[in-house]
């Protein structure tokens, strides 16, 4: 629809379909004859048929709406994907999302209708293409206007508030390459954000000392992405980044009255996915509406269960998959160890059985190490602060399947985007800050770290379990004697 016809035609068709659905729904009620809801893959033909023979029933209108919204090209892209690839006006996205919501509300009472029609279970803004990209990811990673991205976020919030489904975690759903909307948004605008972060920091320092300096660059020297980004101010990008962070961490409160400790906990709770730029940005002193507390103090603030941001970062889960309706999201003050699944594995561990690996994605684990590196730079002694169950951060990371060797995967942040501190693995980072952890006995299982590493099951690659145990023994061979005597 959006690629074959212009923006005006796309808007007009969406509005006409929406009006037809609402008018016939009020006149005739819900569709009853599900067998009549057939659909065609020929979107151009369907458009011409619609122009020559106006639909008479709500079933016909829904039939047309489904074809327009869920028809996909050979790459699996829907009309909403196609629009976002071309930086659409807000009006077009408004029309498509309004039509999609009306279709979602009127699509029938049960799965038999969806099966007869071939309709997707997910709303159109969450329907993925062949490579796993959702329209939201397309919008954020191609430089769509902030108003368009904001419209997607508003729609997600509306679905949640009105009981249509909890799709807030969509901001972390990754495509086949592990790229997600929050990352795509900050990656596209990173150069602009970093430059203006530096400008405002210099300006803030100058305001305090009386001699600030603001850096500027002429438009002709800007990259394409910076030219697109320059259409809005830094505050607009911060506002949307904060909204996405809050959508990804809905259980952490407060939502409105933000402070840097709360933001650090939010970032830590999605450590495998959190762009390091976002964590750095959260700690800058000029953010509007955010109570600023220095980084070393913010990283030392505990939640209601006594956990530091470092603890959250170590326990943070992989949230790449679309499993939000039934997933209980972590809450500040409610530990992950309260999960029935986690408690089940913890009980099995006490009985001598294996524990379950959580660290199975090398790209996510590389990112987790970068976030942990920043937290330890701000609060080094956190590596020695035990979890509420008595485990040290090092031992907890071993129990969750961390490896000794660094995750070898290319960074998506471009040249120079990596942190020098995070070139090692998570275990090496924690060990450097708390060397004594290597010879600790796990208070939960009574095992030495290398023994505990050998009990972890569920690695994507069995060599990872061997790597962890071997790396631990290599750096503390005396553990073999100690373990044997135990």
Q: What gap in Å lies between CA 282 and CA 413, rounded to an integer? A: 19
Between 33 and 322, name the one with better pLDDT. 322
Confidence of residue 265 (pLDDT cuts 50, 70, 90): very high
Supply the mean pLDDT for the chain. Answer: 75
- What pLDDT shows up at residue 127? 87
Between 365 and 221, name the one with better pLDDT. 365
The first and second tokens of residue 116, run together, are 């007869």
The first and second tokens of residue 203, run together, are 């300006």
Alpha helix segments (H runs only) across 316-401: 340-350, 362-378, 393-399
Q: What gap in Å lies between CA 43 and CA 73, rounded to an integer? A: 10
Average of per-residue pLDDT across 276-289: 91
- Assess contact for 429 and 369: CB atoms under 8 A: yes
Residue appearing with tokens 């122009």 = 51
Between 182 and 467, name the one with better pLDDT. 182
- What pLDDT shows up at residue 322? 56
Question: With 60 as the cut, is the pLDDT of residue 371 above it?
Answer: yes
Q: Which residues contact 452 (CB under 8 A, 6 or more apart)?
A: 355, 395, 398, 399, 442, 445
Domain boundaries, the chain: 7-179, 336-485
Between 65 and 312, name the one with better pLDDT. 312
Candidate from 21-30, 178-187, 342-351, 442-451 with smallest mean pLDDT: 342-351
- What pLDDT shows up at residue 417? 43
- Summarised one tens digit per residue, pLDDT across range 112-135 is 555 555 555 678 898 899 999 999
Candidate from 51-60, 276-285, 384-393 with smallest mean pLDDT: 51-60
Residue 307: φ, ψ to 5°: -95, 140
For residue 375, the Cα-to-chain-centroid distance in whole angstroms is: 19
Q: Which range scores top for mean pLDDT: 66-70, 81-85, 202-206?
A: 81-85
Residue appearing with tokens 């009127």 = 106
Question: With 80 as the cut, is the pLDDT of residue 36 above it?
Answer: no
- What pLDDT shows up at residue 438? 87
Confidence of residue 301 (pLDDT cuts 50, 70, 90): very high
Q: Which residues contact 153 (CB under 8 A, 6 or more apart)?
A: 171, 240, 243, 244, 247
Is the pTM of the predicted complex or chain greater than 0.85? Answer: no
Q: What gap in Å lies between CA 10 and CA 3, rounded to an integer? A: 9
- Assess contact for 354 and 457: CB atoms under 8 A: yes
Candidate from 97-111, 332-346, 377-391, 422-436 with smallest mean pLDDT: 332-346
Candidate from 273-282, 291-300, 319-328, 440-449 with smallest mean pLDDT: 319-328
* E-state strands within 37-194: none
Residue 375: half-sphere exposure toward Cβ, Cα within 13 Å: 33
- What pLDDT shows up at residue 86? 83
Closest CA to 298 of 286, 308, 311: 308
According to DSSP, the residues that pair with 456 across neighbouring strands are: 355
Average of per-residue pLDDT across 354-379: 90
Q: Which residues of 147-166 are buried (b: 16+ CB within 10 A; e: fewer)?
A: ebbbbbbebbbebbeeeebb
Q: What gap in Å lies between CA 64 and CA 82, rounded to an integer? A: 18
Between 41 and 477, name the one with better pLDDT. 477
- What pLDDT shows up at residue 116? 53
Average of per-residue pLDDT across 139-159: 94
Q: Is the dihedral of CA 191, 195, 196, 200 positive or negative?
A: positive
Question: With 50 as the cut, is the pLDDT of residue 1 above it?
Answer: no
Closest CA to 101 of 161, 12, 53: 161
Q: Which residues contact 360 (CB under 8 A, 6 or more apart)?
A: 318, 401, 458, 459, 460
Between 74 and 155, name the one with better pLDDT. 155
Question: With 70 as the cut, is the pLDDT of residue 364 above it?
Answer: yes
- What pLDDT shows up at residue 102? 77
Q: Which residues contact 41 (CB under 8 A, 6 or more apart)?
A: 71
Q: What gap in Å lies between CA 262 and CA 252, rounded to an integer? A: 8
Average of per-residue pLDDT across 189-216: 62
Confidence of residue 183 (pLDDT cuts 50, 70, 90): very high
Residue appearing with tokens 């952890």 = 437
Q: What gap in Å lies between CA 399 and CA 209, rounded to an integer? A: 49
**484-to-230, 243, 355, 447, 478 alpha-carbon distances in Å:** 64, 53, 21, 11, 10
Q: Is the dihedral of CA 323, 327, 331, 337 positive or negative?
A: negative
Between 12 and 51, name the one with better pLDDT. 12
- Summarised one tens digit per residue, pLDDT across range 421-478 is 444 689 999 999 999 888 888 999 999 888 888 888 887 777 777 888 888 888 776 6
Percent of the chain past pLDDT 70, that is, above it, reads 66
Q: Which residues contact 344 (CB under 8 A, 6 or more apart)?
A: none
Q: Which residues of 430-447 are buried (b: 16+ CB within 10 A; e: fewer)?
A: bbebbeebbebbbebbeb
Q: What single DSSP character describes residue 251?
A: B
- Summarised one tens digit per residue, pLDDT across range 164-181 is 889 999 999 999 888 999
- What pLDDT shows up at residue 223? 85
- What pLDDT shows up at residue 17? 55
Question: Does residue 465 have a cis bond before it (omega within 30 degrees)?
Answer: no
Residue 290: φ, ψ to 5°: -115, 125
Q: What gap in Å lies between CA 378 and CA 386, rounded to an integer? A: 17
According to DSSP, the residues that pair with 290 across neighbouring strands are: 258
- Summarised one tens digit per residue, pLDDT across range 372-427 is 999 999 999 999 999 988 999 999 999 999 988 876 544 444 434 444 444 468 99
Between 200 and 147, name the one with better pLDDT. 147
Closest CA to 469 of 409, 407, 399: 399
Q: Is the dihedral of CA 420, 423, 429, 431 positive or negative?
A: negative
Kindly tell me the burial class for residue 266, based on how many C-beta atoms sit within 10 Å of its own C-beta (0-12, 13-18, 19 or more). buried
**194-to-140, 200, 291 alpha-carbon distances in Å:** 18, 10, 21
Q: In this structure, how many other beta carbons lie within 10 angstroms of the beta carbon of residue 458?
A: 14
Q: What gap in Å lies between CA 450 and CA 404, rounded to an integer? A: 11
């Amino acid at each position: 629809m959006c690629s074959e016809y212009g923006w005006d035609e796309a808007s007009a068709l969406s509005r006409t379909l929406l009006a037809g659905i609402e008018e016939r729904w009020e006149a005739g009620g819900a569709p009853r004859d599900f067998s009549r809801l057939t659909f065609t893959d020929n979107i151009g033909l369907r458009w011409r048929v619609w122009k020559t023979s106006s639909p008479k029933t709500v079933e016909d209108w829904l039939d047309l709406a489904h074809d327009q919204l869920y028809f996909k090209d050979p790459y699996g892209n829907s009309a909403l994907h196609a629009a976002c690839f071309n930086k659409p006006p807000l009006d077009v996205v408004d029309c498509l999302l309004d039509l999609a919501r009306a279709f979602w509300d009127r699509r029938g009472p049960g799965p038999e209708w969806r099966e007869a029609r071939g309709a997707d279970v997910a709303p159109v803004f969450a329907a993925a293409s062949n490579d796993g990209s959702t329209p939201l990811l397309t919008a954020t990673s191609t430089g769509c206007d902030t108003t368009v991205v904001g419209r997607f976020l508003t729609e997600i919030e509306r679905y949640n508030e009105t009981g249509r489904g909890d799709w807030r975690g969509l901001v972390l759903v990754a495509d086949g390459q592990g790229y997600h909307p929050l990352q795509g948004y900050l990656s596209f605008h990173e150069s602009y954000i970093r430059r203006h972060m530096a400008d405002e920091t210099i300006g803030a320092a100058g305001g305090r000392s009386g001699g600030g300096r603001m850096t500027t660059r002429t438009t002709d020297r800007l990259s394409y992405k910076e030219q697109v980004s320059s259409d809005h101010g830094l505050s607009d990008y911060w506002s949307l980044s904060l909204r996405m962070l809050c959508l990804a961490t809905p259980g952490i409160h407060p939502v409105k009255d933000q402070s840097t400790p709360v933001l650090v906990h939010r970032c830590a709770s999605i450590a495998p996915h959190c762009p390091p730029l976002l964590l750095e940005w959260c700690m800058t002193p000029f953010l509007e509406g955010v109570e600023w507390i220095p980084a070393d103090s913010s990283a030392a603030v505990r939640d209601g269960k006594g956990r530091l941001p470092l603890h959250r970062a170590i326990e943070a889960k992989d949230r790449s998959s679309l499993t939000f309706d039934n997933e209980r999201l972590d809450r500040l003050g409610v530990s992950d160890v309260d999960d029935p699944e986690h408690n089940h594995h913890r009980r099995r561990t006490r009985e001598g059985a294996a524990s379950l690996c959580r660290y199975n994605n090398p790209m996510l684990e590389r990112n987790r190490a970068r976030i942990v590196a920043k937290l330890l730079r701000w609060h080094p002694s956190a590596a020695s602060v035990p979890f509420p169950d008595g485990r040290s951060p090092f031992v907890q990371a071993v129990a969750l399947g961390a490896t000794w060797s660094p995750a070898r995967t290319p960074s998506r942040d471009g040249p120079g985007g990596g942190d020098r501190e995070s070139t090692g693995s998570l275990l090496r980072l924690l060990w450097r800050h708390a060397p004594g952890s290597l010879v600790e006995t796990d208070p939960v299982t009574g095992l030495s770290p290398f023994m505990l590493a050998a009990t972890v099951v569920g690695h994507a690659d069995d060599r990872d379990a061997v790597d962890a145990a071997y790396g631990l023994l290599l750096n503390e061979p005396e553990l073999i004697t100690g373990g044997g005597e135990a």
